[in-house]
Amino acid sequence: MPKDTLVKIDNALFEVTGFLGELAADFTPLKDSKYRECYEQISTLQIELVKSVRTLQSKLEHHNATFESKISNKCKFHVSWVGYCNQDTNNNDFCEEHSPLKCSGCGAKATKDCEATLGPMTCGKPLCNNCNHKNH
C-alpha cells in the first residue's frame, strides 16, 4: 500500500474525530443518554484505528529503509554520460566488472570513468574521486 494512502487515512480519521467532537458538543443528548455508549465505542474504535494506521506507517517506513539499503548494494561505479552502473553486487560497492578497476592516475580504487571527450570519443579510463583527465 502506498504511504500516501496511509497519510490520507490518517488525515481523514483526524477530521472524523474533530467532526465527532463538534457533534458531541452541539448535540447534548449524545453525552448523557443511550447514545453515549455508542459515541464512546466509536471514539475507542477511532483511537484504535489511528494507532493501527500509525503502526502500519512506521512498519512501512522500516520496510522502505530495508528496501533502500538493498538498492544501495548496487554498483556505484559512475559510467560517463550514463550514470551509475547499478548492477547487482555481492554486498560490495562495485560489481564484478568494476571492482578490480584502479585509477589510471594514482592507482587507487576507481569510482568512475573519465568523461573527457577526445574528438567524438570519451576518454573512458578509470578514475578515482580525486583524479581527473589532466593527471592520468
Please report, as ranges, the residues that interact with Zn ion according to CB under 5 A. Answer: 75, 77, 85, 87, 95, 98, 103, 105-106, 108, 114, 116, 123, 125, 128, 131, 133
Q: Is 53 or 110 the residue whose CB approaches Zn ion more closely?
A: 110
> From the CB of 123, what's the least distance to Zn ion, in Å?
3
Residue closer to Zn ion by CB (options 56, 79) is 79
In terms of CB distance, is 53 or 77 closer to Zn ion? Answer: 77
CB of 70 to Zn ion, least distance (A): 16
Q: What is the dihedral of CA 117, 118, 122, 125, to 10 degrees?
A: -110
The minimum distance between CB 84 and Zn ion, in angstroms, equals 8
- What is the radius of gyration, based on Cα positions, of the chain? 29
| Minimum distance from residue 110 beta carbon to Zn ion (Å) | 8
Q: Nearest 10 degrees: CA dihedral of 12, 14, 17, 22?
A: -100
- Quote the longest CA-to-CA distance of the chain: 87
DSSP 28-89: THHHHSTHHHHHHHHHHHHHHHHHHHHHHHHHHHHHHHHHHHHHTTB---EETTTEE---B-
